[in-house]
Chains A and B, each alone.
Chain A
Amino acid sequence: MQGILTSLILVPLVGSLGVAFLPEERRDLIRLTSMLTAILTFVLSLVMLGNFHGGSFHFQMVEKATWVERLGISYHLGVDGISVWLIVLTTFLMIISIWFSFYVQEKVKAYMALLLLLQAAMLGFFLSLDLILFFIFFELTLVPMYFLINIWGGQRRAYAAVKFFIYTAAGSILMLVGMIVLAWIHSQQYGMMTFDLVQIQSSIAKGEFWAGYMQLQAVIFWFFLIAFLVKVPMFPFHTWLPDAHVEAPTAGSVILAGVLLKMGTFGILRFVLPLFPDVIGQFVVPVMILAVVGILYGGIVAAVQPDVKKLVAYSSVAHMGFVMLGIFSLTHTGIQGGAIQQLNHGVSTGALFLLIGLIYERRHTRLFKDFGGLKAQMPIFATLFLIVMLSSVGLPGTNGFIGEFLALWGAFQAGMAGFNGLNVLIPAIAATGVIVAAVYLLIMFKDMFYGPNDNPENQRLKDLKPWEIAMMAPLIVLIFWGGLYPNTFFQKMDASLSAARLMAINEPGQRPMWSDLTHEIDGKGALVQVQPRKTIKEFVPIREISPAKMNFDRNETVLQAEVASQ
């Protein structure tokens, strides 16, 4: 499948350019072209998914070419379990976004071109294995989003767009500095610069990279982390999000909530866990505290919002807090939960923004005081809203439950064991966040759908049209699929996430290496050495390098302590 990753980036890019050259007045042609591009990209991503083998943590379908040799910059793409579902989510949500954007009437050409450009940038972001390439795509996502908010946004769009831009860019500057320092350290240790993630990670895993630079590691850790915390967003870096969401057009909000926020958590899984193994443990507690604050703070503030879109925006702060809670528990269950929660949040919150968009196109208001009693007026709309709302509440059987449950589970295990100095109170307090979630989401549903339908403006509203239902249907299916059979998703992610975790918590020499194809994660989560092989699909273990260490087994801990003391 050589070249499929490049084509995943190129197809939307070419589509974007193609749309830009179409005449503005041929709106239907523009829409058709964009839609076809999005569908083609989605199909490509499905092909990629079909060829992806979940049993290995290594990058697959890798493409590599030298770019700037002197500085060690290369064009390096690859996909692993951490990125594979995010890529599919991106291409999938883009179809829905473009579909919904048929509502857009102004400057259709620019709108569609920007959406496709955004898609190319997002896919490039998830696929990059070179730090500079990654940074370029990271910055490139800002530009289309900035214009989408600034041109097609609401009343305070300029403020929101600039705020969005400055926040993210300020964070990314820190990250750029961090990347340059990484390359510089590499040149100090090995005599040549490189921005290649795989190469840097390998030397970190061996314990050579940071030797002599331990203090710097802590600094660079925060540089990367803050860039991603802004993106997630975590309290107190979150205030750009409500403004951006409220002002952004619907498709923008869907992409923002569905994909752009995941760039933060993805970045943490891709960079922060593997690259800073020696210091991450000491910063787990502050990050977890921020996550808990975000969960409760986002929820409580959401409950008093007068605008439904702002409510959902604040709920994102709370939900992404659970993702962070799971990942930074550094337990296997927690990281799995955090990773699946990212996907589920993308689906559920994306669907919520779409539904809000549907009612906004009808009523041109999103204030709760303008609604009430819509259930009788728009029964199908109300039913869809109910399902999506319940998924956001985290009801078992919907996808929202799986992520929250496992993230809390992992955080609780880590807290009980005192892993990295965690206290069990942190996850216990975080768990009360699910009560708050019920509060604000039920208030939202009550204010919109229950009570008498006494606003004359609402009494003539029609229910959803078939094409609108068709647009929502795949999201509803995903909500139940994710809730009833999440194994579909776990099967592709498990090995890569386990490896990322072991990269962060194991001692040098026992850390998995992306560059070393003789390392694999076996069926129990242990790191094993395997025989040399031709394909990535099968491996024959030779010996265990590191046990699974899933559950803070007291006996295992005692054994390790004994080994260490000898």
Chain B
Amino acid sequence: MNPIFNQVWWIIGLPLIGFLIQCFFGKRVIEKLGAATGKRVMGSIAVLAIAGAFGLGLAITQALAQLPFDQRFVQVTLFDWIKIYSLSIPFEVRIDPLSMTMVLVITGIGSLIHLYATGYMAEEPDYPRFFAYLNLFVAFMLVLVMGNNLAMLFIGWEGVGLCSYLLIGFWYKDFANSLAANKAFIVNRIGDVGLALGMFLIVYLLASNQTALGINTTRWLSYDVIFEYLPKVLAEQPMMATAIAICLFIGACGKSAQFPLYLWLPDAMAGPTPVSALIHAATMVTAGVVLLNRMQVVFAASPIASAIVVIVGLFTAVFAALIAFGQTDIKKVLAYSTVSQLGLMFVACGAGYYWVGMFHVITHAFFKALLFLGSGAVIHAMAHEQDMRHYGNLRKYIPITFWSMFVGFIAIAGVPLTSGWFSKEEIIHDAIFSKLAVLGGVNIGNAAGWLTFGAALLTAIYMTRMMMLTFAGPQERWKLIPAAEGHGHPDHHHDDHHAHDHAHHEDHGPDVHGFFYSDEEMATKNEVHDDHHHHELDETHTPREVPVSMWMPLVILAVFSLGAGVWLKGYKQFPTLPKDTLEKWLEPVAYEAAKAHGGKHHSPVPYEHLIAPLGYWIGVAGIVIGVLWYMRGLPKSEGWDMSKWNPFRAAAREQFGFDRSMVDAGVEGGGVLGRFMWRVIDNRVVDGAVNGIGLLVAGFSKGFGALQTGLARTYALMMLLGTAGILGWLMYATGIFGGRG
């Protein structure tokens, strides 16, 4: 075995070390070296940690590619995490094409986004905390994709959820952000429970057939054990495959924001934009697709579950696309677009073409990260204003951002030969020809494939809308905002300090140790960095191009957004280029039964001749429609949304009422239930019964007049009575008195 495989732990270790450095030294370094230099140093360390992992990932991928085709699987064990008689879960890494593909995506795009963030967050006082969370996220994400058992996947799964929670709530002083963070964590937890139950089911199936299968290990959750033995069980009990698959898919729905668990993702845009790009577009939200790829062995065995995956994926894709039309926040448009694109990935997986799901994961990671980072650059240039109604004609001011975003735009819209076109076309094509997702004799995959054309058309239109509103048109709508009197800081706290005197001090009791409270100066110091917005958007504003650390990643990502499709898939007009690179690369992880549903030789389907031209032109058609539609820009005097489409847009903006009803049901309903349980059941029913007994005893004691009141005496009496009663009953029940013998 190539010795480099033993170094694989450093891929996870480097980001983790980066995290620890940021945690323990970040603040001190910035204080010592001054804000500017300190931030540069800490930022570089953060970027280097991820870039180092990327370099190592490249080397290991290279080594893996040199192995013979059917031996591309290396397992490296670190130590036993949980080991008891009945089970053993080691920390073990699986090096195979799937995990290394994800490693390269995560660390590659991750280091670009880290680089971008050093510029984007430059004015942030809490700089090391941001990069600590970001590095930790990468570490957990790597654990998720590299672990060789479902338990390690689960560690990463919940770990990335934690980092997502921390980063959404990064600007925690705004209450809305912390609510969004909580929502993300809690909705994800619903999925996590599904995933956990799926794992338990797998363990049950393996363990309960231990003797029959001859399993002589207790590593129930390790992939090598699952892949070897689980298919044999599932062949006997096909319903269990459906049960497991549905449980796992619930988990995937949570993390990958599929209906109905997509609710958290739009709110997650409260986090800083690099976070949205890295976590909520390129990597974490694709974890569900990775899970389906890993567990092909289960999903391929269940046509019912596969059909459900296809239906949910397609519905989410269309539903989110419709919602995107109602959004005015540039990041929200991209968020719904992400939800929609994730839906397409699930259509591919449900149809049995798991590698195609991964293909779209990769291309989507490129162009969606690009679009998010571009939107961040726009937001940066527009004084942190995210409302597209205040944009317009920005291509004149920020050309680099515009052109790179334009590339991302044509890629997601599916203009031929861009990366998005390749992967989307592959999804549609394969779904139409697939034979896996059959429910009650209806080929769901086939139907979904055709309908996916509709989703693709919608995608192109709403993305055109976003680009037109932001970059096009003669209108520069922020100039309609009158300049405010003096760019004010929200400094309502400052008065409070003066009102606060030592009289307050006495209220919380004597400060005996004299160190609980600080003096006034310190309090003011703590409040200094209250606001990260340095000025407001108004007519005096002139958008400026972002610094090089920010546009450089944009340009690199633009190159990949354009070329990744040709690179990974090949094109018939370029015969010198290798073909089907990704499909061949991922073939070793494909499960045999899953391959049977795919294959190159499709049996004919109706209207087959329409697929190629539709695939070619649907994206372009969408762009044309969008341009015609939004060419005039926004009506100046009427404000926003006063067209005949207004009712639709208003409904779409509110997610057709779905989010509101779910959140209300959860929060309000839960609150009512909780208060009822507390105030009525706990305080009245249970305590009432107990206190009633107590009062009864106390009443006795008063009635006899022999005992004074007093709880100790009550207790003594109760004890006596109780003991006597119990003993009496016991003697009766057991016949000690000879009553029943």
Contact = CB atoms under 8 A, between A and B. Distances in A.
Nearest to B140: A397
A174 B723 CA distance: 8
Given A397-B155, A459-B493, A460-B518, 14 more contacts: A215-B733, A216-B734, A239-B686, A297-B677, A301-B682, A336-B84, A412-B197, A412-B200, A454-B496, A459-B527, A490-B83, A525-B86, A551-B86, A552-B208
Contact of A459 (B165, B526, B694): B526
B626 to A, nearest CB: 39
A344 B188 CA distance: 24
Contact of B210 (A105, A165, A431, A551): A551
A289 interface: no
B174 to A, nearest CB: 8
Given A216-B734, A361-B516, A438-B186, A457 B504 contact: yes
Contacts of A332: 84-86
B556 interface: no
Contact of B526 (A376, A408, A486): A376
Nearest to B496: A456
A365 B715 contact: no
A280 to B, nearest CB: 19
A364 interface: yes
A438 B500 contact: no
B182 A446 contact: yes
Given A459-B526, A460-B523, A462-B517, A450 B175 contact: yes
Interface string A392-426: 00011100011001101100110011000000000
A301 B211 contact: no
B38 interface: no
Contacts of B718: 166, 170
B706 interface: no
Interface in A200-217: 213, 215-216
Nearest first, the 9 A-B pairs at minimum CB distance are A525-B85, A551-B207, A450-B178, A304-B674, A555-B211, A550-B86, A412-B200, A396-B155, A332-B86
What range describes how many residues of A lie at the interface? 35 or more
What range describes how many residues of B lie at the interface? 35 or more
21 contacts: A162-B711, A166-B711, A177-B727, A177-B730, A300-B670, A300-B677, A303-B670, A332-B85, A365-B508, A376-B173, A376-B527, A390-B162, A431-B196, A435-B186, A435-B189, A442-B185, A451-B172, A459-B496, A461-B516, A490-B84, A551-B207
Interface string B173-207: 11101110110011001101100110011011001
Interface string B676-688: 0110011000110
A413 B730 contact: no
A556 B681 CA distance: 46
Given A300-B673, A305-B678, A431-B196, A490 B158 contact: no
A333 B88 CA distance: 11
A485 B81 contact: yes
A487 B82 contact: yes
A356 to B, nearest CB: 15
A227 to B, nearest CB: 12
Contacts of B212: 554-555
A417 B208 contact: yes
B158 A395 contact: yes
B493 A454 contact: yes
Contacts of B711: 158, 162, 166
Contacts of A439: 186, 670
A473 B87 CA distance: 31
Interface string B504-526: 10011100100111111011001
B480 to A, nearest CB: 30
Given A239-B682, A452-B175, A460-B517, A402 B82 contact: yes
Contacts of B80: 487
B509 A364 contact: yes
B172 A303 contact: no
B81 A484 contact: yes
Contacts of B6: none
A552 B242 CA distance: 22
Interface in B704-741: 711, 715, 718-719, 722-723, 726-727, 730, 733-734
Nearest to A373: B173
Nearest to A497: B84
Given A364-B508, A465-B515, A552-B208, A333 B677 contact: no
B671 interface: yes
Interface in A208-254: 213, 215-216, 219, 236, 238-239, 242
Contact of B172 (A163, A213, A375, A442): A375
